Amino acid sequence: MDRRIGAYQRELIQTHYDEVENMYRQMRGWRHDYRNHIQTMKSYAAQGDFEAVCRYLDELDADLTTVDTVIKTGNRMADAILNSKISLAKSKHIPVVADAHIPYALNISELDLCVILGNLFDNAIEASLALPEEKRMIRIYMDMKGPQLYISLTNLTATKKQKKIGGRFRSTKGEGHGFGLVRIDAIVERLGGYLRRGSEDGAFTTELLLPQ
């Protein structure tokens, strides 16, 4: 079990590292091309072709949206995880509504935060892919509730209400999966926190309270 946990943690950290690196690679590429974009628009403007300038600006705006850092929670690790997962969700045509405000410093370890947020998003993305694009949605909310960190993540699902098996909601990824859910449960229990999962009206919600 220790070897499985160790391998799982290494895989999770590497996955998030790759996602964050990909996001910032795109941002660096866009910044590198910034001067060329300016020169192109100046050329259109010099010719008096302001319609072309507007079209070019619209294209740049759409391109920048795909790499923009959309979440600034106040905590760098949370920013890295959330922005990488939001970028991943958008690449799969899953809209994300995010509202997160947390302190710069948290008592929860970066590894634990990575496991919790990473798995919540991965499961939500997996469930969303079973839906038509126009019905997909993930909502994440994070804030401090007194001395506790509150996290709520909701995603739409293909079924009206999921069933529990052995007191737990079954992973949608099939046999052999669901280890991430167990890891979240273990972290919450170790920290003396609160965890609730609910499935109602075609939406699945996970809520956590973690002492700080």
In a domain? residue 162: yes
**Closest to 156 measured CA to CA, from 140, 178, 139, 168:** 139
In a domain? residue 118: yes
pLDDT tens by residue, the chain, 212 residues: 666 666 666 666 666 666 666 666 666 666 667 778 888 888 989 999 999 989 888 887 776 655 555 678 888 778 888 888 888 888 899 999 999 988 778 888 888 888 899 899 999 999 999 999 999 999 999 999 999 999 999 999 987 665 554 445 454 444 434 677 888 999 999 999 999 999 888 899 999 999 98
In a domain? residue 34: no
Its domain, for residue 77, covers: 69-211
In whole angstroms, what is the distance from residue 130 CA to residue 172 CA?
10
In a domain? residue 177: yes
pTM, two decimals, is 0.67
- Indicate which CATH number applies to the domain containing 90: 3.30.565.10
In a domain? residue 53: no
Q: Which residues of 113-142 are buried (b: 16+ CB within 10 A; e: fewer)?
A: bbbbbbbbbbbbbebbeebeeeebbbbbeb
Q: Domain tally for the chain?
A: 1
In a domain? residue 38: no
